[in-house]
Structure 1
């Protein structure tokens, strides 16, 4: 299916492949010395839509942010429960493939999969991810929430480029 916009994963991971500890902590990530915002602002300008799972959305709310971080983007939260939309978020309880392909067909910039592991897994299994930008932190946390869940799937990637931000290494892949 031809589409106008790419679905892009932009995420940080520990060297051993975790996006958070078992108790959803990112403290390990903030211990690493980066450079500037590690490419975040540059990437953020390439998207106008963000999608995330309900657990990621709840994590954001739990961390007492001064304001919602994706205020100037269309934001969709996939959830199984009936949840009322807010000023900043539309909650989606639709088929992931159909909803995403509708977004892709619209004019606009790229679509960012913010997280988390469950939503990413469903996007990967349904072959909805076009690019992956993974910033690897020099931390081994041993266990936690994996970036990629175990499963019966295989993805072929092409390396588009690498960059370093002090101690971080960004790996940019195109999904074949």
Structure 2
């Protein structure tokens, strides 16, 4: 039996659990002294497919001045409306569970779910995430977009390991299905 591909959430959060401020700023994250790229390149080499929500896609395109940073990966963006695909992105407006399970059955490397908050909530609720690599920044921002939105779901995790990158702490969990 062939092994299913894993969906991995690789993300940073503030110590108080937010992935961005309420105005979508990540400035707080860049004020923390890390080490190298905090494990990003190492992780990025393990994935060949990227999933994200439309709001995250729009944020990336704005902050990267229109230069899409994941051109060498298969990228799917979930959107509630029909949008024309780009050379680097396929826009998805279908059942998350069905689409994702089909993707997990295809040959390939790991699948990275980048964000954002609404899409992550759906993935957590449907138990589609297999691993969580969470980098915690020593910043408290008080309010913003929570990583774990309140809702009717539970995840049972097993700690696979921890690492530090100067002021950042990486927690690596496997989701027990």
TM-score normalised by L of structure 2:
0.97
What is the CA deviation profile of residues 78-110 of structure 1, one whole-angstrom value per residue up to 9, with x for unaligned ones?
000110000010000010000001110000000
Contact 1:15 1:136 in 2 (8 A): yes
Q: Where in structure 2 are the equivalents of 1:86-97 lying within 5 Å?
A: 86-97=86-97
Counterpart residue number, 1:128: 128
Q: Given that residues 4 and 108 in structure 1 are in contact (C-alpha distance below 8 angstroms), is that contact kept between their aligned partners in structure 2?
A: no
Relative distance call for 1:56 and 1:159 in structure 2 (3 A) is same
The secondary structure found in structure 1 opposite 2:124 is: helix
Residue 164 of structure 2 corresponds to 164
Q: Which runs of no fewer than 5 residues in structure 2 stay unpaired?
A: none
**Number of residues of Structure 1 aligned to a counterpart in Structure 2:** 175
Counterpart CA distance in 2 for 1:43 and 1:165 is: 14
Q: Which residue of 2 aligns with 1:83?
A: 83
| Cross-structure match for 2:49 | 49
- 1:107-151 CA deviation, whole Å, 9 max, x = no partner? 000000000010010001001000000000000000000001001
CA distance in 2, matches of 1:137, 1:66: 27
Shift of residue 66 of structure 1? 6.3
Structure 1: tracts of 5 or more residues without a match: none
TM-score by length of 1: 0.97
Q: Is the 8 A contact 2:135 2:170 kept in 1?
A: yes
State the 1:67 CA deviation. 2.4
For residues 4 and 49 of structure 1, the distance between their equivalents in structure 2, rounded to whole angstroms, comes to 14
Q: Does 1:29 align with 2:17?
A: no
SS at match of 1:132: strand
Contact 1:134/1:172 (<8 A) preserved: yes
